[in-house]
Amino acid sequence: MASEKIIAVIGATGAQGGGLVRAIINDNAGGFAARALTRDVNSDAAKALAALGAEVAAVDIGSEASVKRAFAGAWGAFCVTFFWAHMSAERELAEATAMARAARAAGLKHVIWSSLEDTRKWVPLTDDRMPTLGGKYKVPHFDGKGEADSVFLTSSAPATVLLTSFYWDNFIHFGMGPKKGPDGQLAITLPMGDKKLPGIAAEDIGKCALGIFKKGNAYVGKTVGIAGEHLTGAQMAAAFTKALGKPVRYNAIEPAVYRGFGFPGADDLGNMFQFKRDFNDDFCRIRDLTFSRSLNPELQRFDQWLAANKGRIPLE
């Protein structure tokens, strides 16, 4: 409908953006329309979004001119960067800056920037509790995003910074699911000690983002965090045990051991978990569950997510 406010969604064929496109299309209250942005409008994933009713348009966030074209005529935008596609925090900062500038140029009314903490505010580079990576980061895939927050809050269109949480979907797609140890028993391995890990169903991030857009100006200029539940490794292992019907234990290791796993990004993730463990009160507090549910009343708990997704979790 012509009166609908168009939200231009970066990463629409992916986890966060895809959830937002589907949330907009499935929202009975209406009021918003989704412009699904992708590098390839002819991909199966793009066609699937078009079939649901989304407008599909091209974008490459590496080009400010491309983002400007993609944002033209929209009311709002959801902006996210893709660290794991290139593993460069500098590139994330450049892409975020291009998106913020394009949002202002297009005269958008509200932009959501999907971010994470700049951990250097808690662990300066001089702090040797965890190694400095790439010369100027502690947790590169957090720090580049966090550095871009001020760009969105000062030089973009009116913006909300959205701090997301660990996707439980990592247990399916990112190799973090239960694995058999030498004893043959399944275990999840995390360097979180007895601290709580805020987690979320990836699909719920978009639903929360729609909730922010629907609250008008309430969160413009603000930084807000979301999570579906805050759980210790032991609690997650107990939930796995119940859902899978076989014992899963929590293998608590030190962050240094995790950093040494050797896969690309293991050092970044080891530092990330250490940050979440050592600054757990701050990290959990901003990801308030009641607030998250106020944005998205369908917010899933871990046991609900597991019941729906346990068949997709590879058990090695």
> Between 43 and 154, whose beta carbon lies closer to ligand NAP?
43
> Which CB, 204 or 240, lies closer to ligand NAP?
204
Give the DSSP H or E segment for 94. helix 89-105
Least distance from ligand NAP to the Cβ atom of residue 95, Å: 7
33 vs 209 by CB, closer to ligand NAP: 209
Nearest distance, CB of residue 254 and ligand NAP, angstroms: 21
Amino acid in the structure at residue 237: A
Tell me whether residue 132 or residue 170 sits nearer to ligand NAP (CB atom): 170
Output the smallest distance, CB 19 to ligand NAP, in A: 8
Distances (CA, A) of 270 to 185, 222, 259: 23, 29, 5
Mode of pairing for the β-strands spanning 166-167 and 196-200: parallel
Based on CB atoms, which residue is closest to ligand NAP, 40 or 127? 40
CA distance 296 to 169: 18
Q: 179 CB contacts (<8 Å, ≥6 apart)?
A: 186, 187, 188, 189, 315, 316
The one-letter code for the residue type at 207 is K
d(CA 226, CA 115): 11
Supply the minimum distance, in Å, between the C-beta of residue 165 and ligand NAP.
6
Q: Which residues bind ligand NAP (CB under 6 A)?
A: 11, 13-17, 38-40, 43, 45-46, 59-62, 80-85, 116, 141, 164, 166-167, 170
| Separation CA 110–CA 209 (nearest Å) | 11
Q: Beta 196-200 vs 229-232: how paired, if at all?
A: antiparallel
> Could you give phi then psi for residue 27, rounded to 5 degrees?
-75, 115
Nearest residue (CB) to ligand NAP, 240 versus 273: 273
Q: How far is the CB of 184 from ligand NAP (least distance, A)?
A: 28
- Least Å from the CB of residue 300 to ligand NAP: 15
Of residues 141 and 249, the one with the C-beta less far from ligand NAP: 141
Please give the residue whose beta carbon sits closest to ligand NAP in the complex. Answer: 14
Instruction: Report how far residue 202's alpha carbon sits from residue 196's, in angstroms, rounded to the nearest whole number.
Output: 18
Cβ proximity to ligand NAP: between 137 and 167 the closer is 167
93, 217, 113, 114: which is closest to 156 by C-alpha? 113
The angle subtended at Cα 286 by Cα 192 and Cα 173, nearest 5°, is 50
CB of 114 to ligand NAP, least distance (A): 7
Min separation Cβ 57 and ligand NAP, Å: 11
Task: Kindly tell me which of 55 and 60 has the beta carbon lying closer to ligand NAP.
Answer: 60
Q: How far is the CB of 246 from ligand NAP (least distance, A)?
A: 25
How far is Cα 87 from Cα 1, in angstroms, rounded to an integer? 40
